[in-house]
Amino acid sequence: MTRVKPSGFVNIDRWIPLVELAADKHGVDPALMLSILKVESSGDPAAVLEEKNLTARAGRRVASAGLFQMLNTTAEELRPSVKLDDLFDPSVSADLAGLYIGRQTRRYKGVTEHVAASYNAGSALKFAGGRVVHADDGKFFSDTWQGRPAASHPNYVENTYVNQKYVDRVMEFYRKVAA
């Protein structure tokens, strides 16, 4: 079993056995999983964030929920039988997070920062030529968005900044707990 070092944060460290179990099951780095948990929910299994813009686009409730603040739409993609309320169960949240992080780890060839960025920005995040390229409405930006450079998308600069701050926070905690 892969281990992580205790962080000294009681509300985070209490989840170490659950995280290590899910990380081993899915072959992922438990320190990365614990770091994502820390940044996403601060260890609160009842955490929820209503995603109003995504709800409007999807025509149904979309929310980030549970320890790993996974979108219910992402959870349903991974395991179609999962419902939003299931994400408040810490074991379900950790299992799905391990599954997703494992998929992203393979996709991004184990580059921890890219895996963290994709956990935050979504599975359609793309890295090309050293640039982060975001997806919109399920379509990848390539080098252009509506005939203009991808960086001209109205949300590109803000989303890139927010995502980088997220990655910085995950990596700071990661360095603390990685064995």
Q: Which of 15, 1, 10, 177 is nearest to 93 (CA)?
A: 15
Q: What is the number of other CB atoms lying within 10 angstroms of the CB of residue 75?
A: 26
Domain extent listing, the chain: 10-177
Query: Is pLDDT above 80 for 163?
Result: no
pLDDT, tens digit, 9 for 90 and up, residues 19-60: 999 999 999 999 999 999 999 999 999 999 998 887 887 888
Class of domain 10-177: mainly alpha
Q: What is the pLDDT of residues 101-121, one digit of tens each?
A: 999 899 888 889 888 888 887
Distance between CA atoms of residues 141 and 125, nearest Å: 9
